[in-house]
Amino acid sequence: YSLPSRTARRNTLSRRILRFWREMLAVIFIVVVVATVIIVVYNREDGAETTTEESWVDRIHVSGSVGRIPTLSLSGPVSVASSKMIELETGNGREITADSPLIVSITSFDGETGQLLSAEGRGRVQVGSANSETFDPTLLDGVIGKTEGSRVLFVRPVSSGTDRKTELNVVDIMHSAASGEAVEDPGGPLKVTMTETGPNIAHEDGDPPSTLTVQTLVRGDGQQVQSEDNVLVQYVTASWGDSVVHESTWWTGVPQVLNMKSAMPGVRVALLDQRVGTRVAITIPPEQASGDATLTMVVDIIATEPEGGTLTPSVAYNEETAL
């Protein structure tokens, strides 16, 4: 038996090194292929969404005043794998804090076509305390710290069976009191001053008007109240004769919902076609009220939506103090 020559040993070592590098290159190639597949799959699920943070924002165009039905258009389809949010307009009202009163109007659109998805073409109003018992946590995170009068856009994935789509939600944070432009000289028999506990109603001595009178104190520019709507209001009622306040939402600060079809006739006439953000002072003769005395009222129109929506009437038609 003879030992291999130095040349043979060198050739054997070279072959081993060459085989090692071939195997290493094969492993590297496999790793690169697997990583590429993972990246492609991930991008389809998370990055096919309009690829960059700027691009999904740039494709969505929202116009219209806060409180009115927004107009939305798309320059291209929008798709996301996780919820996103951006503030479109900053309001000048009260800041929303945890557990504080919160009123939002939500209008939904299809992320692929921009088609309006909301029932009857109007926003869905949601009212309650700003906590997770009342509101979706994602929505809540997006509005806490914002101010009344703001508009926030939420872009979120939704599942329908095996299909995954993207929905666009334009969320208006509504004011909890009249938010329009004050009218310098509203005229009429009632004199209204605002206090920390709500409106104070006064009038000159003498007999009340024999017909319904409606004085616009603050003129809003939101959606119009329609004849079968549920309307979210702050209100105070008092008798003409003694000015004693019978009922007021301002005692708690929590607005109430009235149904236009079941409201007393004077209220129906006074609120029809008024816009969200408006404050009116109303003098209602007995035949258009619900008793035998003339009523005086101040009503702030906070929000309105079609009957059958999320607003449930909480103001009943009962006794002479009810709407």
pLDDT, one tens digit per residue, over 252-275 is 778 899 999 999 999 999 999 999
Residue 5 tokens, joined = 């020559």
C-alpha to C-alpha distance for 288 and 208, rounded to whole angstroms: 14
- Please tell me the pTM assigned to this model: 0.71
User: Considering only 94-98, 142-146, 203-207, which range has the smallest mean pLDDT?
Assistant: 203-207
- The C-alpha torsion from 266 through 180 and 60 to 58, rounded to 10°, is 180
Number of H helices, E strands in the chain: 4, 16
Distance CA 273, CA 261 (A): 14
Distance CA 287, CA 15 (A): 109
- Cα separation, 186 vs 8, whole angstroms: 111
Residue type present at position 60: I
SS3 120: helix
Question: What are the phi and psi torsion angles at 291 (to 5°)?
Answer: -150, -155
Segment (H or E) for 36: helix 6-42
Among 33-47, 185-199, 279-293, the range scoring the smallest mean pLDDT is 33-47
Tens digits of per-residue pLDDT, 92-141? 999 999 998 899 999 999 999 999 998 778 888 888 889 999 899 999 99
For residues 82 and 119, the model is more confident at: 82
* Per-residue confidence (pLDDT) for residue 313, from 0 to 100: 57
Q: For the chain, list the strands marked E by DSSP.
A: 60-63, 71-74, 84-89, 101-110, 124-129, 151-160, 163-173, 181-182, 190-195, 198-203, 213-219, 229-239, 245-248, 256-259, 279-284, 295-306
Mean per-residue pLDDT of the chain: 86
Q: Residue 4 pLDDT more than 90? A: no
54: helix, strand or coil? helix
pLDDT at 91: 95
